[in-house]
Structure formats: structure tokens, C-alpha cells
Amino acid sequence: MHRYPYSMGEEIVGEQLVDPFGRTVRDLRISVTDRCNFRCQYCMPAEGMQWLPREEILSFEEIERFARICINYFGFDGIRLTGGEPLVRAHLPELVERLALLGVDTALTTNGATLRMHAKALAEAGLKRINISLDSLQPERFLELTRRDELDRVLDGIAAAVDAGLKPVKINAVMMRGINDDEIVDFAEFGRDKGLTVRFIEFMPLEAGDVWNEDLVVPADEIVEKINKAIPIEPIVRGSEPAERWRYLDGKGEVGVIASVTKPFCGDCDRVRLTAEGQFRTCLFAVDEFDMRSLLRSEANDEEIANAIVDAVGTKWAGHSIGQVNFIRPSRTMSQIGG
């Protein structure tokens, strides 16, 4: 058994959680639902998704407890809520308030379609930062990619996030060869005009289909080159963040590129994930999961759950091996894992 200090008043004095490769884990991604109001082509099929029964989804109390254990025992300093589409989960501001009271940075990733209805309540609950997924600024292309005619609502949701005082507001754009890579500079200009940080993401093998098409990847270097040619930029030191960051030389904001395929950043990874039904994953591309829901719904105490987290992180691998012969594609899609 692992040993942890017991409670000292309201706080538990813990220790850092270090994986077998010396990386300190401090960032928790929590999926609150596998459901989504979009049907993005690279994420899920148009029809036929089997949603998790509601009784299998973690409650807000269970999510809060797990997050508290990660913070109190291991000093986690960041939580990001994901889905599916997290805003389809009823009463989400209540969960945000619970997590914000734990005293760590709390963020959210959303498709933005219903953000106008929720942005103010989320900000008042304690949400500080938000990422909004948006893969095209062209209405017809947006419809084709998402199978939903919702671009205007997403753009309005972005404006609502800014109005609510969320900062920074980041736009996540997955670039795909021959599909939307002609919009790279358009996205850069959009971010500059609106005061947003655009993050370009290389296409990854988490699509709904059975075949991983590497030809769809637009390399980070190509994205940076196109932006720099149109609007000069210079690099910013990244640290453990997934995005390489670049600032515009004229001082008008910055842009990021997440090169999961061509320049994996696994060596600096500090993230772990909890799926909507309570499965713990040490990597987005992990093939193994660890059942935390059973522990949370049993008589296990916090220390026993902390021990289970340590054991799981002890299996974290060096990297995902995308593009190598030993790469194994996860059996679940992004919406089922949590983005």
C-alpha cells in the first residue's frame, strides 16, 4: 500500500504524482457526458451512436470527490471539463462552482452552439477559461463537417464568452488536408480581429471511421509557414502546454499549433483523463482504462482511491507512437473518451 499524510484540518498535505518517465502529473481532464448535439465527421457517425445510460455517468458529487482527491493528495492545479459536448449536461454551472471552490484553474471545452445561453452562468460559477471548437468559418463547409447548420450560433457563442469576461477565449481548429487547410490564414485573421487565441490542431487517429488516413494531416510546420508568410510571427517558450505558441510581431495577439502527429509533445505531458462513466486514462490514446467509478460507488476511502490513481499512473507510457508500426488506435472515439 502507498502511504499518504492524513488530513491536517481542512487540507491534506500530499505529494507530487510522478509517472515512470519522470513527468509530474498535475492536469485532469474530466468528460461530463458522451452525448453531443453535433455529429462531426471525424468524431462520430451521423446516426447510430449508443449513448451511455444515465445511471452509468458520474454524478457531480462523484466528480467533485475525485477531483478533490487529485488536488489534495497530488497537488493537481488544473481541471478541464470536456465531452461529448459538456453543455448538454444539465446544470453544468453547479459542477463548475463545485470545482472552482477547490481552488484550481477550471476550464471548459465546448462546440459553442448553446454557449450564449450558458456563458454568463458559467463565468459567475467560477469558470475562467474556455476553448471553443470551430473547424470552418464557411457556412456550407461547417454544415458538411458537423452535419449541423449552426455556424451562426457558434459565432454568437464565441461573442457571448467574450461578453461574459472569460479569458482567454481559445478557438480549436482541426486542420485537414483538402478539407479546410485553405482557411489557415482566415482563422489567424479571425482570431486577431476578435481578440481570440486560435489553436490549430493536427488531425489525429480518433475519427469515427475504421481507417486512419495520415494523408489528412496538415503538419504544424506548414501551418506556421503559411501564417508567418501572411502575418509575421515569432515563437514563445511552450513549457508543458500541448500547443507550440507564436506571437504576432505587431503585438496583436498570438496563435498556437498542437502537433500531436508530426511533433509529439509526450515528453512534457502532465495530463490524465476521467471519462464520463468514470474510467481513468493516462493518455488520450491509451488502450487501457482503470475503473474509478466502482471505487467511488463502493466503501473505498479517499486514500484507497488515491492508491488506485498512483497504480494507474504507474502504467503511463512514454508516448502514443502515432505514425509508428506499433501504434494501436483506441477502440473508442473522441466523444466517448473526452476531448
Angle formed at CA 270 by CA 40 and CA 1, multiple of 5 degrees: 115
Determine the Cα–Cα distance for residues 240 and 269; give it in Å rounded to an integer: 6
pLDDT at 38: 85
What would the 3-class secondary structure string for the chain be? CCCCCCEECCEECCCCEECCCCCEECEEEEECCCCCCCCCCCCCCCCCCCCCCHHHCCCHHHHHHHHHHHHHHHCCCEEEEECCCHHHCCCHHHHHHHHHCCCCEEEEEECCCCHHHHHHHHHHHCCCEEEEECCCCCHHHHHHHHCCCCHHHHHHHHHHHHHCCCCCEEEEEEEECCCCHHHHHHHHHHHHHHCCEEEEEECCCCCCCCCCCHHHECCHHHHHHHHHHHCCEEEECCCCCCCEEEEECCCCCEEEEECCCCCCCHHHCCEEEECCCCEEECCCCCCCCEECHHHHCCCCCHHHHHHHHHHHHCCCCCCCCCCCCCCCCCCCCHHHHCC
Write the CATH number for 127: 3.20.20.70
Task: With respect to residue 3, please indicate whether it lies within any of the assigned structural domains.
Answer: no
Residue-wise pLDDT tens digits, 160-183: 999 999 999 999 999 999 999 999
Q: Indicate whether 322 pLDDT > 90.
A: no
The count of domains in the chain is 1
> Which residues, other chains included, contact 160 with Cβ-Cβ below 8 Å and sequence gap of 6+?
115, 116, 119, 120
**Nearest alpha carbon to residue 129 among 167, 85, 87:** 167
Q: Quick one: pLDDT at residue 308?
A: 97
Contact 23, 269 (CB under 8 A): yes
Identity of the highest mean pLDDT range in 240-249, 266-275, 294-303: 294-303
Q: Is residue 12 part of a domain?
A: no
What was the pLDDT predicted at 330? 57
Q: pLDDT tens digits, residue range 246-280? A: 999 999 999 999 988 888 767 788 999 999 999 99
Q: Are 114 and 91 in contact (CB under 8 A)?
A: no
pLDDT on residue 260: 82
Q: Would you say residue 232 lies in a domain?
A: yes
Is 14 inside any structural domain?
Answer: no
Query: Average pLDDT in the 123-138 region?
Result: 97
Reading the block at residue 44, the C-alpha cell is: 462520430
* Per-residue pLDDT tens digits for 2-43: 444 433 334 444 689 999 999 999 999 999 999 988 877 776
Domain for residue 5, yes or no?
no
What's this model's pTM, rounded to 2 decimal places? 0.89
Do 146 and 101 meet the contact criterion of CB atoms below 8 Å apart? Answer: no
Q: Give long-range contacts, CB 8 A cutoff, 24+ apart: 277-280.
A: 277/34, 277/52, 277/56, 277/57, 277/58, 278/58, 278/62, 278/66, 280/308, 280/309, 280/312
Mean pLDDT, rounded, for 214-243: 90
Q: Are 206 and 333 in contact (CB under 8 A)?
A: yes
Determine the structural domain holding residue 240 and report its residue range: 21-337
d(C-alpha 54, C-alpha 35), whole Å: 11
Q: Looking at per-residue confidence, does 5 or 129 come out higher?
A: 129
CA distances from 79 to 71, 186, 259, 270 (A): 10, 31, 22, 12
Q: Is there a domain that residue 332 lies in?
A: yes
Helices 184-194 and 220-230, axial angle in degrees (round to 10): 60
**Length of the chain in terms of residues written:** 339
Determine, yes or no, domain membership for 136: yes
Beta bridge partners of 120: none
In a domain, 320, yes or no: yes
